[in-house]
Amino acid sequence: MTVSSMSRALRVAATSVVIGTLLTGSGARAVSITCQSWGAQPPNASPHNNYLTGLVAISNCDAWAVGAYSNGSSFRTLVEHWNGATWTIKPSPNVGSGDNFLQDVAADAPTDAWAVGFRMKAGVSRTLVEQWNGTTWATLPSPNVGVSRNQLHSVTAISPANAWAVGFRSNSAGVSRTLIEHWNGASWQVQPSPDAGALDNRLQGVATASANSVWAVGSHFNGSADQALIEHWNGTSWNVRSSPIVGPFDNGLNDVTVTSSSNAWAVGVRWTAGDVARTLIEHWNGSSWTIGSSPNIGTVQDQLIAVAATSSTNAWAVGFHDTNGGVARTLIEHWNGTTWAVQPSLNVGSNANFLQDVSANSPRSAWTVGYHMKGTVARTLAFHCC
């Protein structure tokens, strides 16, 4: 399993693994919110590669981060908990002896959290779902469609009897199709989900503000380029919704956040004619999705991997940028109700740094996690914005 397949980024530079100077760009402005090191960085489970790819902050003293680490022969699940003072690694199960990856985590209460991803079985990826019951993490049965690859990349939790997970599966012809699963309080079940066209479709992010309104985003291939894919659950069925066309080159969405029926944000990446990656931000105003203005500070690429919002005037987006064609650095952008602006962000060391997820539980407090490269080895990374 390559590291790039673990990331929720649609594309990355060939020199990147995936996917400390304070950085500001021409789109930056003076703000009172700053992003600081979260004290001691999260621990690593082994001297080999360690990645954090999913995050949920329940409160200032209760947060979960998930990902994977290498034990030297295979990847195993990595779960870490923030108690308000320190990060600690929590025991997490694995299925079989092959690679196990956790991609995302969500919680509806301190005693009810979900982590999703995939595991490798005889060279084929199969869904992986784990639940926190307030005491331990345990694997729960999760369905797969067909005998080819199935992967879950994002999860949202509404209540103990209502959660959604999205990703993709491969059909008998090897074409990726959307995969949506629902937790009804007793079991996870595959839900009918539409695809845009007959070619590859993948879902990367899911979020909800109510039981009858859930958004999922990703990308689909139209025969010449990847295009953004947006789907909506209306309480009865999933439907493809119209998303604005960015251009003829590859573009797609990595994550989505929702605060109300008239406020949702989706973020990702679009590519230009010169094969340069630029940030992509789209907004739902209650009636349509529109492309928002988003700054870029890299000369080679800027990618947004995750987004979180607490209201119509407060949202965060994170990812990475590259200014010299080889060393990725963290990228954090903030929405204040009027504009998106690049925020100062930290990096560990002089090698590549990637932010993979963000979570916010108040207007002035947000967390972000990812990893940084120490030589050729990936190490965990976390920051707090306040």
pLDDT digits (tens, 9 = 90+) for 244-293: 989 899 999 999 999 999 999 999 999 999 889 999 999 999 999 999 99
Q: According to the model, what pLDDT value does residue 110 have?
A: 96
Q: Decide: 77 and 101 in contact? Cβ < 8 Å.
A: yes
Q: According to the model, what pLDDT value does residue 6 have?
A: 34
Lowest average pLDDT, out of 22-26, 59-63, 124-128, 210-214, goes to 22-26
* pLDDT value at 378 more than 90: yes
Could you give the CA distance from residue 133 to residue 111 in angstroms, rounded to a whole number?
Answer: 5
| pLDDT tens column, 158-195 | 999 999 999 999 999 999 999 999 999 999 999 999 99
SS3 275: coil
* pLDDT value at 13 more than 80: no
Instruction: Give me the count of residues in the chain.
Output: 386
Could you give the CA distance from residue 282 to residue 256 in angstroms, rounded to a whole number?
Answer: 9
Q: Which residues contact 384 (CB under 8 A, 6 or more apart)?
A: 35, 36, 37, 38, 365, 366, 367
Average pLDDT over residues 203-213: 95
CA nearest neighbour of 66 among 52, 49, 86 = 52
Q: According to the model, what pLDDT value does residue 58 have?
A: 94
Q: Place 34 in a pLDDT band, splitting at 50, 70 and 90.
A: low
Q: Place 5 in a pLDDT band, splitting at 50, 70 and 90.
A: very low
Q: According to the model, what pLDDT value does residue 7 have?
A: 36
Q: Residue 288 is which amino acid?
A: S
* pLDDT value at 17 more than 60: no
Q: According to the model, what pLDDT value does residue 3 have?
A: 31
Q: According to the model, what pLDDT value does residue 57 have?
A: 95
Q: According to the model, what pLDDT value does residue 41 have?
A: 80
Q: Decide: 359 and 366 in contact? Cβ < 8 Å.
A: yes
Average pLDDT over residues 62-72: 97
Could you give the CA distance from residue 309 to residue 382 in angstroms, rounded to a whole number?
Answer: 18
SS3 341: strand
| pLDDT tens column, 142-162 | 999 999 999 999 999 999 999
Terminal Cα distance for the chain, rounded: 36
Q: According to the model, what pLDDT value does residue 98 have?
A: 96
Q: Which structural domains are found in the chain, ordered by start?
A: 3-385 (2.120.10.70)
Q: According to the model, what pLDDT value does residue 36 have?
A: 55
Residues of the chain by 3-state class (helix, strand, coil), percent to 5: 0, 55, 40
| pLDDT tens column, 222-240 | 999 999 999 999 999 999 9
Q: Place 122 in a pLDDT band, splitting at 50, 70 and 90.
A: very high
Q: Place 102 in a pLDDT band, splitting at 50, 70 and 90.
A: very high
CA–chain centroid gap for 246, Å, is 21
Q: Decide: 143 and 121 in contact? Cβ < 8 Å.
A: no
Residue 133 exposure: Cα atoms within 13 Å on the Cβ side: 7
Task: Report CA-CA distances (Å) from 268 to 54, 105, 227, 252, 278.
Answer: 16, 19, 11, 6, 9
* pLDDT value at 386 more than 50: yes
Q: According to the model, what pLDDT value does residue 33 have?
A: 53
Note the pTM of the prediction, 2 decimals.
Answer: 0.91
